[in-house]
């Protein structure tokens, strides 16, 4: 049965504890996308990683693995969540999934914020062969570390579909000025 997992990014500590901000799994376009996928009969989980600012691999992994991951599962990751799926699929070559959409993928290429989260694995150059296709969404005005991540992934993994956006920033609410993301929905359903 087809299902989807949408994995949020890693906020800074201030954003995580901001009483006026939604939880990460309820931020930006995630709730809208979950609702749209449910309306297309695709059960969709949005794991909430506790202390996600800390980027502890064991905690992130445990939260994602609470959900079924099958050859029909669609994986959508934003920022750290996209980087998580790159590593997760790289270190689990036995896993096959459906479509994978990486929105503003981040692997901390300058090792500024993480230790033993993204610096302890090699990207599997055959990732695409174990999916129904991988698409990267990138914006021309996103941060340098995201641009570097996209460059690294494109060099190491062949066959990725790449979509460039103009002035979408980091694909957050503050950049998009809306909680809707129709381009992403069309990519998933197309």
How far is the CA of 144 from the CAs of 23, 122, 138, 149, 176, in angstroms? 25, 21, 11, 9, 19
- pLDDT given for residue 116 in this prediction: 80
Selection from 6, 3, 2, 1 nearest residue 181 by Cα = 6
pLDDT in tens, 6-30: 999 999 999 999 999 999 999 999 9
Find all residues with CB under 8 Å of 1, minimum gap 6, and list them: 43, 70, 72
Torsion of CA 10, 11, 16, 22, to 10 degrees: -90
Find all residues with CB under 8 Å of 43, minimum gap 6, and list them: 1, 3, 4
Measure the CA angle with vertex 131, ends 125 and 132; round to 5°: 130
H or E element in which residue 83 lies: helix 80-91
- pLDDT given for residue 152 in this prediction: 97
Contact (CB, 8 A) for 65 and 49: no
C-alpha dihedral sign at 99, 104, 110, 113 = negative
The tens place of each residue's pLDDT in the chain, 190 residues long, gives 899 999 999 999 999 999 999 999 999 999 999 999 999 999 999 999 999 999 999 999 999 999 999 999 999 999 999 999 999 999 999 999 999 999 999 999 998 888 889 988 999 999 999 999 999 999 999 999 999 999 999 999 999 999 999 999 999 999 999 999 999 999 999 9
Please give the domain boundaries of the chain with CATH numbers for all domains: 3-189 (3.40.50.1820)
H or E element in which residue 31 lies: helix 30-39
- pLDDT given for residue 115 in this prediction: 80
Measure the CA angle with vertex 44, ends 104 and 151; round to 5°: 15
Residue whose tokens read 């070559």: 93
Q: Quickly count: other Cβ atoms within 10 Å of residue 172's Cβ.
A: 16
Average pLDDT in the chain: 96
Percent helix, strand, coil in the chain, to 5, is: 35, 15, 50
What the block records as the tokens of 96 is 């096959």
- pLDDT given for residue 3 in this prediction: 98
- 138 Rama sector, left if φ>0, alpha if ψ -120 to 50, beta otherwise: beta
């Amino acid at each position: 049965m087809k299902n989807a997992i949408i994995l949020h990014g890693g906020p800074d500590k201030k954003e995580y504890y901001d009483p006026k901000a939604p939880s990460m799994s309820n931020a930006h376009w995630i709730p809208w996308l979950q609702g749209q996928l449910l309306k297309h009969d695709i059960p969709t989980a949005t794991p909430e990683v506790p202390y996600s600012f800390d980027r502890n691999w064991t905690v992130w992994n445990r939260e994602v693995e609470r959900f079924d991951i099958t050859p029909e599962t669609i994986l959508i990751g934003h920022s750290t969540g996209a980087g998580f799926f790159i590593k997760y699929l790289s270190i689990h070559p036995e896993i096959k999934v459906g479509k994978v959409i990486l929105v503003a993928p981040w692997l901390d290429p300058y090792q500024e914020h993480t230790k033993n989260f993204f610096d302890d694995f090699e990207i599997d150059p055959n990732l695409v062969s174990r999916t129904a296709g991988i698409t990267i969404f990138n914006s021309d005005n996103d941060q340098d570390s995201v641009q570097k991540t996209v460059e690294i992934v494109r060099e190491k993994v062949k066959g990725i579909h790449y979509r460039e956006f103009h002035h979408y920033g980091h694909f957050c609410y503050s950049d998009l000025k809306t909680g809707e993301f129709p381009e992403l929905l069309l990519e998933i359903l197309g």
